[in-house]
Structure 1
């Protein structure tokens, strides 16, 4: 195992440890904890399988193995962006409905207070 292989594996294991620690302290919800545990597990597997990734990249016609890793990382980040955009859209809809309900309740309370006087 050369030094770069060791560094990549140590970084992936450190990331996995951070995710596990944050999950244990309830700083991540179960849904996000599962997602980040999955990604960090994939990172550890990729760190262990670096020599095999080099062969795989040559088999699919990519001459430089880091380009394959960059492509995979780009696709993961893009999928995360799409997922979080969908989640943000859902939260915005729910916030709009909540604001409308609060405004409606405030108007009803105002009308009720007028009727009492």
Structure 2
């Protein structure tokens, strides 16, 4: 086993442990942790399976092995950004609704104190 392969395996497994620790402490929600665990799992698989990148490149008909890695990373980032945009839009709508509810409650309290 090459030195870089050992370093990659150890780093990936440590990152997986760190993700687990963040989940246990409640600092990372499970829905986001799944994405991180899957990506780290893929890194672990390709760390053990050295020729895997060449096999996957040939399977998809790509001439250079690193190109599918960059393509997959860009695609994953775009999907993740889309997900975060949906979450941000939902939170914006919930904040707007909550502000309106608070305004109605304040008015109700103000009118109750007047009477």
TM-score normalised by structure 1 residue count? 0.84
Find the counterpart in structure 2 of residue 48 from structure 1.
48
Shift of 1:16: 0.9
Structure 1 consecutive aligned stretches of length 4 or more whose deviation exceeds 3 Å: none
Gap regions ≥5 residues in structure 1 = none
Find the counterpart in structure 1 of residue 23 from structure 2.
23
Find the counterpart in structure 2 of residue 74 from structure 1.
74
CA distance in 1, matches of 2:50, 2:42: 12
Shift of 1:50: 3.5
* Paired residues, number: 115
CA distance in 1, matches of 2:66, 2:89: 34
TM-score normalised by structure 2 residue count? 0.85
Q: Calculate the aligned-residue CA RMSD, in Å.
A: 1.7
- Deviations 1:15-38 (CA, angstroms, capped at 9, x unpaired): 112111212222222222333222
Classify 1:34/1:27 alpha carbon distance in 2 versus 1 (closer, same or farther; 3 Å): same
The question of whether the paired residues in 1 share the 8 Å contact of 2:9 and 2:44 is answered with yes
